Amino acid sequence: MNTQSSATYKSPLGVVLTTSYDWRAFIAAVKKRAIDASIWGYMDPDPEDTPLMPSLPIAPTLADFTRPNQQQLATNANRSVVYTDLTAGQKADYAFIYNQYHNDLREYKDRMKAIQDLRRNLTSSLGSTALVYIQDTDTLADKLRILKAKYAPSNHIYELAISCIYNRLKTIAKTTKTTTWLDRWEEALNEAIRLELPEVDRLRPVWDFLEAIKPLNPYF
């Protein structure tokens, strides 16, 4: 990961995976990037078998469409097929297949570039401990599989983590910028609401918010 402090470092994925709390946002960001680039199938960590990487397409050759006639073979047994050996129909077939090959090659290059870009972004979005876990793995699927085993929390543990974060944010530390606290409060509140935690039932979040900001503005 970038050697800058986590407070100033900006992850390419928008989140740095350092604890179990980061896992859901991290894997969601990875999956969205991969789906947008049509490469999620090459790195999905859930299937037991590691997905195969894209295959480099093979260029068609003239020999795939015709062979030298007997007179040509008698003249030169090692003679290669040349374009003029093809009939009009064979030339049309060759042109069609060659054009398809170029399309497949362009798609292959695009996907390989997208995979390499995501590999680089993923590595740049890991904490130092997470980097150690995957240092001996090659494919993105294997990397994500290991990270999932290490960081994906159970539902109960995740709910406890969100509950702790929400309750901790009820008090604004003197060294915390108000804008930073607001961002964290909104993130924790939205996640707590999604999980239907009792801490955010009905009007509780409103009263919690008013109590939290009272030291900043007594008129609240």
Give the pLDDT confidence of 66-93 residue by residue, as tens digits.
Answer: 765 545 544 555 667 788 888 888 889 9
Joined together, the tokens standing for residue 164 give: 């702790």
pLDDT in tens, 127-177: 999 999 999 888 899 999 999 988 887 777 778 888 888 888 888 877 778
Instruction: Specify the long-range contacts of residues 205-210, CB closer than 8 Å, at least 24 apart.
Output: 208/170, 209/185
Of 97, 63, 60, 59, which is closest to residue 81 (Cα–Cα)?
A: 63
Q: What percent of the chain has pLDDT over 70?
A: 88
> Are 54 and 42 in contact, with CB atoms under 8 Å apart?
yes
pTM recorded for the entire structure: 0.63
Q: What percent of the chain has pLDDT over 90?
A: 35
pLDDT digit string, tens, across residues 90-113 = 889 999 999 999 999 999 999 999
What does pLDDT average to over the chain? Answer: 83
